[in-house]
Amino acid sequence: MSRSVVVTGLGVVARGAIGLPAFEDLLAQGGDAPDAPMHFDTSGFRARRAYAADPRDTEEALRQAERAGQLSGLTEPQIVCAGHGILAALEAIRMAGLSEMPRGVGCAVATTSGGLMDGYSDALMAGKGERDAPDLVTPASAAHVLSQVFDLNGPLCAFSCACVSSLGAMSYALSRVRNGDADIMIVGGSDRMRAADFAGFNALRAMDRETCRPFDRTRKGMMIGDGSAILVIEAEDHAKARGAEPIVRLSGMGLASDSHHITSPNPRGLTRAMKQALQQAGRKPSDISYVNCHGTGTPLNDAAEAEALDGVFTGKGDLIISSTKGTTGHLLGTAGAIEIVATILALKSGKAPPMLSTKDPEDVPFTLSLPEADRTLATGVVMKNSLGFGGLNGSLILELPDIGDL
Amino acid sequence: MMDSIVISASLADAASQDLLPPDRPMADAPFGPFPLYYLDHGAAEADARTSKGRHTRVSFRLDDMITRLLAQTGLSREDIAGPGTGLISGSCYGCAQVFEMHMRLRKKGPRGVDPVSFAQATHNYPISAAAIEFGIEGPCLAAVSAGGAGLDALQIATDWLREGRCERVLVAAYEDFAPPIADHLAARAQTTPGKSYGEAMVLLLLERESVAAARGVHGAPELMSIVNQNTPEPKVGAKPQTPFAAQTFSPRTIDYLGAGGLLAVHDLLNSPDVGQRGSEHWQIAAPATAGSSVAVRIGIRQMEDCI
């Protein structure tokens, strides 16, 4: 059994952007300059800025949803643990028209570290013993919160495999729907920035102190972000039967490791993942008009990624590539999910998002999605790539639902 | 016709009462101050002193178990190198380094976090380190879905084989009780009399039947089906939902959390009771843990009388 899978709902929370309209505006305008996150002190670090969502905005939006009768009984620990994810899932589920949640809807959630173990550790070090939400300390806690809040009782799984986590979750969700284990899966990522992760990237000297400039000659590193992106994916026949409109089709997924180094990517893994995705989708490289890259803005990543792309899209100079991390920041485990949403928005609008922070573009054999470039997509078939610590790679192919053969 | 999937090897390291000193209580006795069972980490600690901390104790044990599995199966390092082999891990709590890093940051400030320890502080570090060590270039992921994590990993491995992403997958499940996970679990055990948790690592080799047969392996148990069902915890005021019926094979009394389901598979495959009646169909449910109500079912049958 292998069913066609489509997206029927999207939801997003990013810095300064709750909901799709605000997110579209963020991608188009670039948003405010990065700033220190609200919920921990970065003054002792070399780099001090981030693209953090304001947790107060998220909590207020959730309380507003409670007042409107869309949610009920959210606890403070649930909001701290998975508030961004609850908000994004609420938007996605409403867009998908799931006013009553059917039985058997599954949930696959990506996370960087997950859960409230840091809070537990703080309480332990302060001699306060167990926290008031001991069930929410595991990495899977956000997935469990979403399943509880939205009554999801189908397959449930959580992934934490560095920056490829979201594509791992998407791969799992795709398999569940394709195989008939579930008609609908709620899938994506949810992350609240951790001081420890900030400290780690600071120690690696992988963060730019000013801003993130993917594929820029002067790029110096990444800018951490947080938030959530959740998608409702569904068997196409199931969506049509209930009158839901497919937004895009998910046609191919590739996964591969490069077996090279813990923090330094090698292009061969991503090349293999892209080829696997193309094969599964039944597409040729020439069918792809846009690639949303991992594009962290670190010298190593962007160079390796451009080399990997050249291994698949050789001579295809009109291929538009971009990274949206210059606008959203790097959401780590959730990065793939929010970038899938950005990719879907590009596919729907027919135009790639501009790389507003890239002022001195790197010489790559493709068309960088710079503000002044023609960013019009030539076909309705696009690709989203993610790379993770430890040489993990994922590639996803998305198509307009009515694209057919090219 | 789709190639069958077989479990051609399994290994398990599981902390148990057998490893306790004689003065400690047995597993079926009240545990009092001994709610946690630990694996022997002596070899990992010795390695850490000589290899400049390249390994965490989880990544050390995974490398060691892969080496032992190769010896058990007759496969070489070259056989598993390349894109034909995938690697997946499942764990409830994942790698303690992820949380230890936060504690070091709190105690020492930014200087408490160094690049090496940060690189090790991802839940995929054990599989990534093993992929690099053994040249594994197929899909690699880390599932962290509470009590069902090990069986989730088994299901994902099955997906990869059925979708043609690779021809064999190493499936690992583990739990490791370093601080603060150990403190958390000890506190949890105190609230449930008789409850005890154990560290474990389990490693299974899943292969397409034709791949196993090509190197002379016949009659390995076939993995027939896996179902992942999740019954959400009841909301306040609601009645608890009855878990779905599943014949459970779980002979151990210690809770191995995310490793428990895969450990039950290992125990089943190594049980003298299995395969005595020819073709059999077994079901295994992942042990329930507080905070997790994920349950998974799988079917396994002995193939000896089918070949």
| Cβ atoms of A352 and A290 closer than 8 Å | yes
pLDDT (mean) for B215-226: 83
The predicted structure's pLDDT at residue A310: 97
Please calculate the CA angle B80-B86-B91 and round it to the nearest 5 degrees: 120
B191 confidence band (pLDDT: 50, 70, 90)? confident
Element (H, E) at A49: none
Whether B18 and chain A come into contact, CB under 8 Å, resolves to: no
Burial class of residue A30 in the structure, from the number of CB atoms within 10 Å of its CB (0-12 exposed, 13-18 middle, 19+ buried):
middle
Q: What per-residue confidence (pLDDT) applies to A404? A: 74
Residue A396 is encoded by which pair of tokens?
């996803």
- Which pLDDT band holds residue B34 (cuts at 50, 70, 90)? low
Each domain of chain A, given as residue ranges in start order, spans 5-241, 251-399
For B24-72, the three-class secondary structure string (H helix, E strand, C coil) is CCCCCCCCCCCCEECCCCHHHHHHHHHCCCCCCHHHHHHHHHHHHHHHH
At A131 the pLDDT is: 59
Residues A164-169: what's their mean pLDDT?
98
CATH class for domain A251-399?
alpha beta
Catalytic residue (choose from A81, A107, A163, A212): A163
Instruction: State the amino acid at position A249 in one-letter form.
Output: R
- And the tokens for A214? 């993917």
Percentage of chain A modeled with pLDDT above 90? 89
**Mean pLDDT of all residues in B282-297:** 52
On chain A, the residues whose CB falls within 8 A of the CB of B188 are: 134
Nearest to A138 by CA among B185, B214, B105: B185
Q: Helix count (H) and strand count (E) of chain A?
A: 12, 12
Nearest to A124 by CA among B251, B135, B180: B180
Quick one: pLDDT at residue B25? 46
Q: Is A163 a catalytic residue?
A: yes
The neighbour count for residue B29, using CB atoms within 10 Å, is 11
pLDDT at A357: 97
Q: What is the mean pLDDT of chain A?
A: 95
Q: Give strand pairing partners of A281.
A: none
> Catalytic: which of A84, A144, A238, A294?
A294
Confidence of residue B231 (pLDDT cuts 50, 70, 90): low
Q: Using CB atoms and an 8 Å cut-off, which of residues 264-293 of chain B contact chain A?
A: 290-292
Express each pLDDT in B73-93 by its tens digit.
Answer: 999 999 999 999 999 999 999
Does A75 reach chain B within 8 Å, measured CB to CB? no
CB atoms within 10 A of CB A372: 6
pLDDT at A27: 98
Share of chain A residues as helix, strand and coil, in percent rounded to the nearest 5: 35, 20, 45
Contact indicator for B94, A139 with CB cutoff of 8 Å:
yes
Phi-psi region of A167 (alpha: psi -120 to 50; beta: other; left: phi over 0): alpha
What are the residues facing A190 on neighbouring strands? Answer: A228
- Residue-level pLDDT at B247: 44
Cα A19–Cα A182–Cα B221 angle in degrees, nearest 5: 135
**How far is it, in rounded angstroms, from Cα B60 to Cα B64?**
6
CB contact B68 to A (< 8 Å): no
* pLDDT score of A162 more than 50: yes
If one compares A130 and A178, the residue with the highest pLDDT of the two is: A178
One-character DSSP codes across B6-21: EEEEEEEEE--GGGS-
Q: Which residues pair with A322 in a beta bridge?
A: A292
pLDDT of residue B282: 67
Is the pLDDT assigned to residue B26 strictly greater than 90? no
Nearest to A12 by CA among A374, A331, A278: A331
User: Which of the residue ranges A42-56, A307-321, B213-227 would you say has the lowest mean pLDDT?
Assistant: B213-227
Answer yes or no: A260 catalytic.
Answer: no
Q: Do A161 and B291 touch (CB under 8 A)?
A: no
Q: Taking CB atoms and an 8 Å cutoff, what residues of chain B touch A152?
A: 230, 232
User: Is the pLDDT at B168 greater than 80, yes or no?
Assistant: yes
Residue contacts between A and B (CB atoms, under 8 Å): 236
**Spatial distance between the Cα atoms of A101 and A148, rounded to a whole number of angstroms:** 12
Residue A20 predicted with pLDDT over 60:
yes
Burial class (CB in 10 A: 0-12, 13-18, 19+), A285: middle
* Phi, psi at A90, each rounded to 5°: -60, -45
Which pLDDT band, with edges at 50, 70 and 90, does A397 fall under? very high
| Mean pLDDT of all residues in B211-223 | 88
pLDDT, one tens digit per residue, over B232-286 is 443 322 223 333 333 445 557 788 999 988 998 898 888 776 655 555 666 666 6
DSSP code string of B84-107: TEEEEEE-SS--THHHHHHHHHHH
C-alpha–C-alpha distance, residues B241 and A216, integer Å: 55
- Across the range A281-305, mean pLDDT stands at 97
Q: Is the minimum CB–CB distance between B131 and chain A shorter than 8 Å?
A: yes
How many CB atoms are located within 10 Å of the residue B99 CB? 25
B129–chain A Cβ distance below 8 A for any pair:
yes
Give the pLDDT band of residue B222 (cuts 50, 70, 90). Answer: confident
Rounded CA-CA distance A89/A59 in Å is: 14
Question: Does A298 score more than 50 pLDDT?
Answer: yes
**Under CATH, which number does the domain B5-214 receive?**
3.40.47.10
**Is A294 tagged catalytic?**
yes
Domain boundaries, chain B: 5-214, 222-306
Enumerate the β-bridge partners of residue A106: A185
| pLDDT for the residue numbered A406 | 73
Q: Do residues B6 and B221 touch, judged by C-beta distance below 8 A?
A: yes
C-alpha to C-alpha distance for A148 and A56, rounded to whole angstroms: 22
B276 DSSP assignment: T
Are A397 and A172 in contact by the 8 Å Cβ rule? The answer is no
Mean local confidence (pLDDT), B282-307? 50
Strands B294-301 and B282-283, bridge-based pairing:
antiparallel
Extract the tokens encoding B268: 């089943």
Question: What are the residues whose beta carbons fall under 8 Å from the beta carbon of A184, sequence distance 6 or more?
Answer: A96, A98, A102, A104, A105, A106, A154, A177, A232, A233, A234, A235, A238
Between B264 and A319, the more confident residue is: A319
User: Does B122 contact chain A (CB < 8 Å)?
Assistant: yes
Question: B294 pLDDT exceeds 60?
Answer: no
> Which pLDDT does position B233 carry in this prediction?
42
pLDDT tens sequence across B104-121: 999 999 999 999 889 899
pLDDT score of A238 more than 80: yes
Chain B contact present for A262, CB below 8 A: yes
Instruction: Choose from B80, B127, B230, B294 for mutation: most chain A CBs within 10 A.
Output: B230
Which pair of structure tokens corresponds to residue B141? 């992921």
Spell out which residues of chain B touch residue A187, defining contact as CB-CB under 8 Å.
none
CATH superfamily name and code, A5-241: Thiolase/Chalcone synthase (3.40.47.10)
Task: Report residue B16's pLDDT band, with 50, 70 and 90 as the boundaries.
Answer: confident
Mean pLDDT of B121-150: 94
Q: In angstroms, what is the C-alpha Rg of chain B?
A: 20
DSSP characters over A158-204: EE-BTBTHHHHHHHHHHHHHHTTS-SEEEEEEEE---HHHHHHHHHT
pLDDT band with cut points at 50, 70 and 90 for residue A2: confident
Q: In this predicted structure, which of A137-141, A246-250, B59-63 has the lowest mean pLDDT?
A: A137-141
- The answer to whether B137 contacts A269, with C-beta atoms less than 8 Å apart, is yes
